[in-house]
Amino acid sequence: MAGTHQLEPLPSQPPHTFNTGHEVQRINATQRPPRRPATVQRLGHLVLQTTTYLQTLNWYLDTLGMIVSDFLYYPGQRERGPTMSFIRCDRGLSPTDHHTLALALGPANRYVHSAYQVCDLDSLAAGGQYLADCGYRRSWGIGRHIQGSQLFDYWRDPEGLLVEHFTDGDMFDCTLEPGWAPFAASGLAQWGPHATKDFLGADFKSLPREALSMLRALRADNEFDSRRLMGLIKAANS
């Protein structure tokens, strides 16, 4: 990047050594992960909501050459096409993150969340406990996603923005074809607590803003029509 200089790397947080099943890697040594802030290794992905989902998706595919890992569609509306996509960089046969960007159809153009990789489950969980001890508010977690397979933990920052710590995400090369699945709140994780109203934007505090966004979107020329609205409501409650 022009006009910048490279800084020295920050101290890393090495992953712990695990004994898994019959595979013994740690002998005569205990596990004592510190309860401290998780050290972020990198920005993993960004999720955006848009009223012009297909138009925006095609721009990223055609202009930046990104490729789709997974499509989600509203229940009962697959014939109308997807309403969310997880897209990755096309690095040929070199594996890359399941998604660098996710796009979702919705009633407003807005940031949904950003996700930051940490080294392992202990970093994720102990870092989450540290945030809780400091009075921060967990939005959803800990669990394991389906699309992307990440172990996840979602938090609200002091401004109310949604951020995710994750570890152990899928890495795909260019040979995999996109997956398809119905969009449902119950289908966002393989295990863990149910997706919260806060995470889904359906909590009492968010309802006035979301209702106003829906009314504005239905009156505008975009891809979010009344049938899509019903599909979104069904997905959030399924």
Which of 94, 101, 106 is closest to 63 using CA atoms? 101
Cβ atoms 167, 143 nearer than 8 A: no
Q: Quote the percentage of the chain above a pLDDT of 70.
A: 100
C-alpha distances in angstroms, 3 versus 6, 10, 43? 10, 21, 21
- With a cut of 70, say whether residue 1 has pLDDT above it: no
Cβ atoms 118, 126 nearer than 8 A: no
- Break the chain into its structural domains and give their ranges: 42-236
pLDDT band at 8 (very low <50, low <70, confident <90, very high): confident
For 37-51, the pLDDT digits (tens) are 999 999 999 999 999
Lowest mean pLDDT: which of 8-12, 93-97, 137-141, 194-198? 8-12
pLDDT band at 86 (very low <50, low <70, confident <90, very high): very high
Determine the average pLDDT of the residues in 119-147. Answer: 97
Determine the average pLDDT of the residues in 12-32. Answer: 93
For 216-228, the pLDDT digits (tens) are 999 999 999 999 9
Tell me the pTM. Answer: 0.93
pLDDT band at 7 (very low <50, low <70, confident <90, very high): confident
Report the alpha-carbon distance of residue 121 to residue 115 in Å, rounded.
15
Determine the average pLDDT of the residues in 90-116. Answer: 98
What is the pLDDT at residue 12? 84
Q: Which stretch of DSSP H or E encloses residue 217?
A: helix 207-219
**162-167/110-117 β-pairing:** parallel
Ramachandran region, residue 232 (left: φ > 0; alpha: ψ -120 to 50; beta: rest): alpha
- With a cut of 70, say whether residue 132 has pLDDT above it: yes
Residue-level length of the chain: 238
Report the alpha-carbon distance of residue 180 to residue 163 in Å, rounded.
26
CA 133 from centroid of its chain's CA atoms: 24
Q: Return the CATH architecture of domain 42-236.
A: Roll (3.10)
What is the pLDDT at residue 5? 86
First to last CA, the chain: 45
